[in-house]
């Protein structure tokens, strides 16, 4: 019997952000599959999701300030909210960078990285969903580590290919492609996804 109830709403808020991250990862994938003239609405949709996720993150922080007994340590709640938000911000930044660079057809490496990002974010969402139930999330950490290694291999292979074939490309495309590869890699390397590994 608890004398004072813990506020379990934090888990629901984390799940909200994690689900928005899954939706954003789908948009990111769709962005690089789309032709350049059809990307703007996708970037705008991703930006709307980023704003929604920010609102939920602010609610976590506000609720933390108003709650006496929390289901996790306060620092852990704040860190989890911040890390989930960082994943969204990295995806939004990648989408915006593709617009700034006026990227033409997306390189295969970028498309492959977005597929890994989708799987990593889905794994993260499952882990976050398991927190409320008290599930063992270590299996998700193992999956995230495996996906991180897969993404690392794709990233390095894609950059190697880009530099090996730079003479075959328009000089303007080389930094654009490299920059977008780096932006996708930064999503996978965001603290939340990278630290979900054991």
Taking all residues of the chain, what is their mean pLDDT, rounded to a whole number? 85
pLDDT of residue 186: 80
SS (H, E, C) 127-168: HHHHHHHCCCCHHHHHHHHHHHHHHHHHHHHHHHHHHHCHHH
110-158 pLDDT, tens digit each: 999 999 999 999 999 999 998 888 778 889 889 988 999 999 999 889 8
**Residue percentage of the chain with pLDDT more than 90:** 54
CATH number for the domain harbouring residue 88: 1.20.58.220
Domain-located, residue 3: no
DSSP characters for 180-194? Answer: HHHHHHHHHTSHHHH
**Alpha carbon distances (Å) from 135 to 126, 130, 132, 138:** 10, 5, 8, 9
Global confidence as pTM = 0.86
Gap between the terminal Cα atoms of the chain: 34
Three-class SS state of 172: coil
**Total domain count for the chain?**
1
Domain membership of residue 75 as a residue range: 9-194
Q: Does some domain include residue 39?
A: yes
pLDDT value, residue 196: 52
Decide if 55 is inside a domain: yes
């Amino acid at each position: 019997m608890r004398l004072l109830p813990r506020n379990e709403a934090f888990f629901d808020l984390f799940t909200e952000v994690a689900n928005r991250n899954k939706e954003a990862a789908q948009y990111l994938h769709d962005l690089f599959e789309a032709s350049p003239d059809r990307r703007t609405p996708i970037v705008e949709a991703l930006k709307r999701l980023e704003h929604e996720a920010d609102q939920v993150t602010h609610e976590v922080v506000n609720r933390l300030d108003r709650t006496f007994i929390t289901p996790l340590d306060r620092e852990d709640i704040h860190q989890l909210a911040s890390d989930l938000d960082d994943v969204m911000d990295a995806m939004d930044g990648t989408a915006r960078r593709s617009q700034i660079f006026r990227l033409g057809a997306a390189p295969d490496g970028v498309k492959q990285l977005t597929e890994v990002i989708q799987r990593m974010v889905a794994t993260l969402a499952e882990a976050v969903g398991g927190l409320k139930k008290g599930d063992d999330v270590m299996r998700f950490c193992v999956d995230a580590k495996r996906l991180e290694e897969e993404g690392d291999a794709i990233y390095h292979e894609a950059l190697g290919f880009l530099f090996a074939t730079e003479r075959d490309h328009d000089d303007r495309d080389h930094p654009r492609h490299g920059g977008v590869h780096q932006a996708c890699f930064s999503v996978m390397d965001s603290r939340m996804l990278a630290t979900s590994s054991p």
